[in-house]
């Protein structure tokens, strides 16, 4: 009798996934809520989250400013092209 190892029973896979998730969350809770070092760990995590939030804000602000400057440049170049086409020197061939 051959057993196909590629097929997995969904109930056992679901159980193992839930068990591994529970172990991970339990270990994380123990690590964070440790009475001796938990306060320091929570402060470190909070400080890192604030820093990363500020970094993301700076990146988004710089990207928005760059895109704004590029759009402004395109508008001014287009205005310059339109003015050159409408100038009398361009239509008469110059002086």
The pLDDT of residue 2: 67
Give me the residue spans of the domains in the chain. Answer: 10-92
Q: Which residue has the tokens 């890192």?
A: 48
The pLDDT of residue 47: 97
The DSSP secondary-structure symbol of 93 reads T
Can you spell out the DSSP letters for 75-90?
A: HHHHHHHHHHHHSHHH
The pLDDT of residue 43: 93
Per-residue pLDDT tens listing for the chain (95 residues)? 566 666 655 788 889 999 999 999 999 999 888 989 989 999 999 999 999 999 999 999 999 999 999 999 999 999 998 888 776 655 555 55
Helix (H) or strand (E) holding 63: helix 38-86
Q: Whole-prediction pTM value?
A: 0.52
């Amino acid at each position: 009798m051959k057993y196909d190892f590629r097929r997995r029973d969904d109930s056992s896979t679901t159980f193992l996934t839930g068990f591994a998730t529970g172990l991970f969350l339990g270990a994380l809770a123990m690590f964070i809520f440790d009475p001796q070092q938990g306060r320091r760990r929570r402060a470190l995590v909070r400080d890192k989250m604030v820093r990363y939030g500020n970094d993301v804000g700076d990146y988004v602000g710089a990207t928005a400013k760059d895109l704004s400057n590029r759009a402004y440049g395109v508008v001014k170049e287009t205005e310059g092209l339109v003015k050159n086409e409408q100038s009398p020197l361009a239509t008469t061939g110059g002086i």
